[in-house]
Structure 1
Amino acid sequence: MKISVIIATYNRPNKIKLCLRSIISNHFYSYEIVVIDQSNDYQTKKEINKLKSRKIKYITVNYKNKSKALNLAIKNALGKILVFTDDDCIVDKNWLKEINNSFKSKHITGVTGKSLPYNQRKDIDIFCPAIFNYKNGRIINKASYHATSIGFGNNMAFKKKVFEKIGYFKEWLGPGSVGCAAEDANFLLRTLVFGYKIMYNPKVIIFHNNLLSKDDFRKKLLGYKCGEVACYGYLALKGHNFANDIISKNIKSLKEKVKIYLNSVLEFKKISLKDFYYDVKELFYIIRGFIIAFYFAKKDPLGHSC
Structure 2
Amino acid sequence: MIAPALRTDVAFGVDGNYAPHLAATIASIVKLAPADAFRFIILSVDIDAEARRLVEKCAKGAEFVWIDVEEDDLPAFGSRGHFTRAILFRLGLEKLAPADCHRVIYLDVDLIVTTDLRELSRWDIGGHSIAAAIDVNEDADAFAEKWGLPAGHDYINVGVLLIDLDRVRAEKGFTRAIELYSREGDRFPWPDQDAINHVYWGAVSRLPGKWNVQATTAINMARHEMPGYAEAPCIVHYTGSQKPWISRSYHPWAWLYWDAVRRTPFFDMVARRHGVTLRERLKILVRWRFRKFDPDGPVACRGGQRRVRIARNVTSDPLDISLVVGTCNRSEQIVACLDAIRNIRYKGSWELIVVDNGSTDDTREIVERELAAMPVPAKLLIETKRGVSAARNTGVAHARGRILAFTDDDCYVDPNFLTEVRTAFKDKTLGYVTGRVELFDETDAAVTVNFSQVSRRYPAGQYLHTDGLIGANLAFRREAFADICGFDESMGAGRLFAGEDMDAAARAGSAGWDGAYHPGMVISHHHGRKEKDVAALYKFYDIGRGAYNMKYLLRGEVIPFLKGISSLRWRMGPVTSWRLKTFSTPWWEFYGATSYLVLWLRNFLLGANG
**Could you state the TM-score of these two structures normalised by the residue count of structure 1?**
0.81
Report if the CA contact (8 A) 1:141-1:197 is conserved.
yes
CA distance in 2, matches of 1:102, 1:283: 36
Q: Which residue, out of 310, 322, 333, partners 1:4?
A: 322
- Aligned residue for 1:82, secondary structure, equals strand
Could you say if the C-alpha distance between residues 305 and 200 of structure 1 is closer, same or farther in structure 2, counting changes exceeding 3 Å? Answer: farther
Structure 2 residue aligned with 1:212: 529
Q: What does residue 83 of structure 1 align with?
A: 405
Distance of 2:427 and 2:579 partners within structure 1: 51
**1:250 is matched with which residue?**
568
> Could you say which residue in structure 2 is the equivalent of 1:175?
493
Return 5+ residue gaps in structure 2 as ranges. 1-318
* Residue 289 (1) aligns with residue 289 (2): no
| Aligned: 1:105 with 2:427 | yes
- Counterpart for residue 457 of structure 2: 139
**Shift of residue 87 of structure 1?**
0.9
Q: Which residue in the other structure is 1:28 paired with? A: 346
| Structure 1, unaligned runs of 5 or more | 262-275
- Paired positions, count: 281
RMSD over aligned CA atoms reads 2.9
Q: 1:41 aligns with which of 332, 357, 360?
A: 360
| Corresponding position: 1:115 with 2:420 | no
Structure 2 counterpart of 1:48, which letter?
V
Going from structure 1 to structure 2, the CA distance change for 1:176 and 1:200 (only over 3 Å counts) comes to: same
Aligned counterpart, 1:201: 518
CA distance in 1, matches of 2:477, 2:438: 24
The Cα shift of 1:153 comes to 0.8
Kindly tell me: are residues 247 and 103 of structure 1, through their superposed partners in 2, closer, same or farther at Cα, counting changes over 3 Å? same
Q: State the shift of 1:81 in Å.
A: 0.6
Query: How many Å separate the matches in 2 of 1:211 and 1:69?
Result: 22
Where does 1:202-281 land on structure 2 (aligned, <5 Å)? 202-237=519-554, 238-250=556-568, 253=572, 260-261=579-580
| 1:53 and 2:356 are equivalent in the alignment | no
Q: Distance in 2 between matches of 1:186 and 1:235?
A: 9
Deviation string 1:207-260 (CA, Å, 9 cap, x unpaired) is 111131222121122111111110112214432423322323437839969x73
Q: What's 1:268 paired with?
A: none
Alpha-carbon displacement from aligned partner over 1:124-154 (angstroms, at most 9, x marks no partner): xx413211222222332153444435x1111
Q: Which amino acid aligns with 2:388?
A: K
Equivalent residue letter for 1:14: E
Distance 2:524 2:561 in 1: 29
User: 2:609 and 2:336 mapped to 1: Cα distance?
Assistant: 31
For the 8 Å contact 1:132–1:148, the answer to whether it is kept is no
Q: CA deviation at 1:283?
A: 6.5
8 Å contact from structure 1 (residues 146, 152) kept in 2: no
> Which deviates more from structure 2 when the two are superposed, residues 163-172 or residues 237-246?
237-246
**1:72 match:** 394
Deviation at 1:177, TM superposition (A): 2.4
Higher relative contact order (CA 8 A, sep 6+): 1
Tell whether the 8 Å contact from 2:340 to 2:415 is kept in structure 1 after alignment.
Answer: yes
| Structure 1 residue 187 displacement after superposition | 0.5
User: CA shift at 1:66, angstroms?
Assistant: 1.7
SS in structure 2 opposite 1:198? strand
1:93 aligns with 2:415: yes
Structure 1 residue 110: deviation in Å? 1.7
Question: Shift of the alpha carbon at 1:99?
Answer: 0.5
SS in 1 for 2:568: helix
Give the conservation status (yes or no) of the 8 Å contact 2:424–2:433: yes
- Largest Rg, 1 or 2: 2
SS of the equivalent of 1:34 reads strand
* CA contact 2:353–2:380 (8 Å) conserved in 1: yes
- Matches of 2:509 and 2:399, distance apart in 1: 23
1:148 aligns to what SS in structure 2? coil
Determine the C-alpha separation between the residues in 2 that align with 1:28 and 1:155.
17
- 1-structure distance, mates of 2:429, 2:397: 24
Task: From the two aligned structures, give the one with the greater helix fraction.
Answer: 1
State the secondary structure of the residue aligned to 1:176.
coil
Q: Which amino acid aligns with 2:350?
A: Y
What's the CA shift for 1:305?
7.8
Distance 1:28 1:118 in 2: 23
1:27 Cα deviation after fit: 0.5
Q: Tell me, yes or no, if structure 1 residue 188 matches structure 2 residue 188.
A: no
Q: For residues 69 and 305 of structure 1, what CA distance do their matches in structure 2 show?
A: 20
1:141 corresponds to which letter in structure 2? P
Contact 2:323 2:353 in 1 (8 A): yes
Return the alpha-carbon distance in structure 1 between the equivalents of residues 586 and 482 of structure 2: 37
Q: CA deviation at 1:204?
A: 0.5
Tell me the distance in 1 between the aligned counterparts of 2:546 and 2:574.
15
Normalising by structure 2, we get a TM-score of 0.43
Identity of aligned residues (%): 24
Q: 1:41 to 1:305 in 2, by over 3 A?
A: same
Aligned partners of 1:132 and 1:147 also within 8 Å:
no
Paired residues of 2:325 and 2:408 also in contact (CA < 8 A): yes
Runs of 4+ in 1 over 4 A off after TM superposition: 254-257, 296-300
Helix, strand or coil for the counterpart of 1:168?
coil
